[in-house]
Copies of this chain bind each other. A is one copy, B any other.
Amino acid sequence: MQKEHNLSKNQKIIFDLIDKSGGPMKAYSILFNVQKKGIKAPLQVYRALDKLVEIGKIHKIESRNAFIACQNSSCQISKATAFSICESCENVSEISNSKLSKYLSNFSDNSGMKYSKYNLEFFGLCKKCKSK
């Protein structure tokens, strides 16, 4: 059971846009798309993005400076994320693999660090791009 988050007006507009896009979106592309809805400044976008990331509705793809809607209904925690990224078409999808997440969540080494979060990005060629 996940905590309900009532999104604010801007948060909802921006989440809906990213979610409907079905893929990663960049902040200024989001900005461009929501200007007709009254969101005019970068900061308005970044604030909504920050909050959406915090509550796990979206994730940031760090290597791409882009944001994607969480595709894994159980991951509202956003403390353990894994993505697969096609280096040719830039298609991104969230990996939901319980063995992988278990392995990484339990990972520890002798550094004395306590890990509370991770982000993993796999790169390669997707099915489509491989066969070209």
Contacts and interface: CB of A to CB of B under 8 A. Distances in A.
Contacts of A103: 103
Copies in the complex: 2
A107 B113 contact: no
Given A63-B62, A100-B107, A103-B103, A117 B113 contact: no
A84 B113 contact: yes
A63 B119 CA distance: 9
A124 interface: yes
Interface residues of A, number: 30
Contacts of A37: none
Given A86-B113, A113-B125, 17 more contacts: A62-B62, A62-B63, A84-B109, A97-B109, A107-B122, A111-B126, A112-B130, A113-B126, A115-B123, A116-B123, A117-B123, A117-B124, A118-B120, A118-B122, A118-B123, A119-B120, A120-B120
